[in-house]
């Protein structure tokens, strides 16, 4: 899928989408505060700039209920003319009213949580 007649030629399914689909039921969301924000997506270990379109969240399947597998997918119109669908940990947004990282780069000092907490 492309947004223009001359999109980047070197583009694979892995670039377009990191994860496979969990099922057939989805909830579509558009976060107003992200609408039109520039973003950077990590697509198959390469970074591309683009613009937020909308998000989808899978529902009604076994994977979505597991905390370590629950993912929301973000649809991004990339500047290279392609569409990319990435989980939230593969995207950063640039909000000029809230600049924490002026280099607009992925953080390198984050660690994933190793414990899963549940309520009784």
Q: Residues of the chain with pLDDT > 90: what percent? A: 28
Q: Residues of the chain with pLDDT > 70: what percent? A: 88
pTM of this prediction? 0.81
Domains of the chain, residue spans: 16-93
Task: List, for residues 9-30, the tens digit of each pLDDT value.
Answer: 888 788 888 777 667 788 899 9
Helix (H) or strand (E) holding 13: helix 13-16
Task: List, for residues 64-86, the tens digit of each pLDDT value.
Answer: 767 666 778 899 999 999 999 99
pLDDT at 100: 66
Q: Specify the pairing of strand 73-78 against strand 38-43.
A: unpaired
42-to-19, 55, 100 alpha-carbon distances in Å: 13, 16, 19
| Burial class, 67, CB count within 10 angstroms (exposed 0-12 / middle 13-18 / buried 19+) | exposed
pLDDT at 52 over 90: yes
């Amino acid at each position: 899928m492309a947004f223009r007649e001359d999109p980047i030629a070197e583009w694979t399914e892995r670039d377009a989408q990191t994860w496979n689909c969990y099922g057939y039921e989805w909830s579509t969301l558009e976060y107003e505060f992200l609408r039109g924000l520039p973003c950077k997506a990590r697509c198959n270990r390469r970074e591309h700039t683009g613009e937020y379109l909308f998000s989808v969240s899978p529902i009604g399947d076994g994977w979505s209920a597991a905390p370590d597998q629950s993912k929301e997918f973000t649809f991004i119109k990339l500047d290279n003319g392609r569409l990319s669908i990435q989980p939230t940990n593969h995207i950063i947004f640039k909000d000029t009213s809230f600049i924490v990282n002026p280099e607009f780069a992925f953080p390198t000092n984050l660690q994933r949580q190793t414990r899963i907490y549940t309520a009784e």
